[in-house]
Amino acid sequence: MDLVLFTAGLLALSGITVLLGLWARVGLGLLPLWAIARATVQLAVIALLLRGILSVPWTVVAFVLLMLSTASWTAAGRLRELRHGRRIAVTGVAAGAATSLVAVFALQLLELDVRQLVAIAGILIGNCMTAATLSGRNFLRASAQRRGEVEAMFALGAWPSLAHEEIGREALRESLLPTMDQARTTGLVTLPGAFVGALFGGASPVEAAQFQLVVLAGIGLAMMVTGLVVTRLAGLAPYAAPAEPV
């Protein structure tokens, strides 16, 4: 595709998104356009880096750590209103991604090589970031709404973990539902990127489907662990909301 036409089309898509957001008063401003601009620059840099990484395998560790650090930092920013939210976000993202990655390769669902590791790590870490943000913000919102109930349990002598137990379960469930729905409708409603990418990369339909299934199962485990860690740690504070001044 011609680069000028591609750039114009991309700007048009993002511009329409911005205009609709302004019309609906969503409060995002130019964020959709800024996000695409950042993604463009970052993908260009990553494409250059990957050429070197794939030819020098040991550098993949540094690249995965970079992805993990970026995801943790982003989620931490979204949870800054939650008490100890920054530390909780980092812990949740790291725990979810590490658990799922180890499980995938320990069970030999994928061959442990540089390309497979970079591909699956990027997908899992990104979903852990989402899980941390959603579960943490859902927890914050629910704990604020049910503050009276929590304080009543404290008055009866309940530990913070028990007082926030139901709030944590609700926050975790709500954060996982969109991902579970997407997994249930894969192939009927959506053709996921991992499946399509594997096909374009030369894999057979069966191989592409196998890779996608590994991705879906890995995402489920990663997001479950991340959400559990985030909601359980958030529930340990005497008062989960509001956050300490930062």
**Confidence (pLDDT) at 151:** 63
What pairs with residue 186 in β-bridges? 190
Which of 44-48, 130-134, 235-239 shows the lowest per-residue confidence on average (mean pLDDT)? 235-239
- How many other C-beta atoms lie within 10 A of the C-beta of residue 168? 24
Q: How confident is the model at residue 156 (pLDDT cuts 50, 70, 90)?
A: confident
Dihedrals phi, psi of 204, to nearest 5 degrees = -75, 160
**Confidence (pLDDT) at 54:** 61
What count of Cα atoms within 13 Å lies in the side-chain half-sphere of residue 163? 24
Is 90 exceeded by the pLDDT of residue 27?
A: no
145 burial (CB, 10 Å; 0-12 / 13-18 / 19+) is: exposed
- Dihedral (CA of 17, 93, 104, 54) sign: positive
Is 80 exceeded by the pLDDT of residue 198?
A: no
- The answer to whether the pTM exceeds 0.95 is no
Is 80 exceeded by the pLDDT of residue 94?
A: yes
Distance CA(231)–CA(79), nearest Å, equals: 12
| Average pLDDT of the residues in 201-212 | 77
**Confidence (pLDDT) at 246:** 39
The per-residue pLDDT for range 166-197, each reduced to its tens digit, is 888 888 999 888 888 888 877 666 666 666 67
Dihedrals phi, psi of 186, to nearest 5 degrees = -60, 130
**Confidence (pLDDT) at 245:** 44
